[in-house]
Structure 1
Amino acid sequence: MTERTSGAQSEPEVIYSAEAIAARMEELAQEISARKLDRLLIVAVLKGSFVFAADLIRALHRIGLEPEVDFLTLSSYRKSKTSSGKVEILRDLDLGVEGRNVLLIDDVLDSGRTLVFAKDLIAARGAKNILTCVLIDKKVSRAVDVSADFSAFEGGDEFVVGYGMDVAHRYRELPFVGRMSKD
């Protein structure tokens, strides 16, 4: 790891290594494939899920699935470590979802607001079936009643970065998931 010149902030502690993530992507692809979803459309919620979604899509390809892919950019955090409670659409879907099986991919399930917002949006547009897949399912009290259909890992009440996830636009490039110190 290279030194950072801007940093009063400490480097994150590794909680899920690149190797553990890679192994879990293959298992997760098998779990999703077992659902036999025809006309599968994957919707990745940006920005935090982009690395996870890319690796999962490639794992799905390796086992013979050929999903279409689209992106939805939502935000409830902006530059903060805590959710504002209000979800905004920053970029909408290009593809139609009507009559489709949709796999919604997000990075972290914590308050649940973003996932519920995205599910409701896609359902209102006529999706046949909406399943959710998250990298980290935080076992915390949710603001709304939602659970993930698939999750790579479970987490606690800690702020995580790396593997596409950031804090104030830093740490997305890390090949692992790390925990930030409380400082």
Structure 2
Amino acid sequence: MIRVRGKTIETLFSEEDIAREIERMAAEIAAHKPENLLVVAVLKGSFIFAADLIRALHRHHVAPEMEFIQLSSYGTGTVGGDVRIVRDLDGQIAGRKVLIVDDILESGRTLKFARDLMLSRGATGAEIAVLLDKRMRRVIELEADYVGFDCPDHFVVGYGMDVAHTFRELPFVGRVVS
């Protein structure tokens, strides 16, 4: 455990464990020989994971292009609702295979919205890669194609994930214990 900003953070997934899982995921994605791959990172939480994943894909001889979309289903609270686009993609995705990258799959609302959006815009396929999967929180039937870790039922921070815009910088995934 470490102390950051006066809070005690318990490590759930270490920096080393995350690096190993990302290499494994990249190898799994590369084994499918994706061509014309477009990685779409869901901001803000996935930015660190997405950056590490595309570098790992490069090491596995996959050269994806990258886009960003910002979606919101939480607003300022912690209970999900309707999903809305905060920042849309810049480029066209018609005719492309899309890999949607997000930090965590919980209710399924946001990632189902993202996948349906990509397909409605003409993507030839839309797979999902997440660092964390909280299956116990699912309210919509949806599974990720690539998963780093099954996540316990804790509110997690670090590695891009935050609480009130803090703790994104932590190189591991943890939970605030006090």
1:150 aligned onto 2:150 = no
Task: Work out the percentage of aligned pairs sharing the same amino acid.
Answer: 54
Point out where structure 2 has 5 or more consecutive residues left out of the alignment.
none
Distance 1:3 1:162 in 2: 11
Superposition pairs of residues 101-116 of structure 1, within 5 angstroms: 101-116=97-112
- The answer for the alignment partner of 2:93 in structure 1 is 97
- The answer for the alignment partner of 1:160 in structure 2 is 156
Q: Once the 2 structures are TM-superposed, how far is the Cα of residue 141 of structure 1 from its aligned partner?
A: 4.1
Q: Once the 2 structures are TM-superposed, how far is the Cα of residue 24 of structure 1 from its aligned partner?
A: 1.2
- The answer for the alignment partner of 1:129 in structure 2 is 125
Aligned to 2:69, which of 68, 72, 93?
A: 72
The answer to whether the 8 Å contact 2:49/2:160 transfers is yes
Q: Which runs of 4+ in 1 moved over 4 A?
A: none
The answer to whether the 8 Å contact 1:79/1:169 transfers is no
Secondary structure of 2:113's counterpart equals helix
Distance 2:160 2:96 in 1: 27
Point out where structure 1 has 5 or more consecutive residues left out of the alignment.
none
- The answer for the alignment partner of 2:25 in structure 1 is 28
Q: Once the 2 structures are TM-superposed, how far is the Cα of residue 62 of structure 1 from its aligned partner?
A: 1.1
Secondary structure of 1:153's counterpart equals strand
Q: Deviations over 1:105-140 (max 9, x none)?
A: 011101000000101111110100110000101121
Secondary structure of 1:59's counterpart equals helix
> How many residues matched?
177
Distance 1:37 1:3 in 2: 40
Distance 2:9 2:152 in 1: 15
Root mean square deviation of aligned Cα: 1.4
Q: Once the 2 structures are TM-superposed, how far is the Cα of residue 25 of structure 1 from its aligned partner?
A: 1.1
Distance 1:135 1:42 in 2: 14
Amino acid at match of 1:49: S
Question: With structure 1 as the length reference, what TM-score do the two structures score?
Answer: 0.92
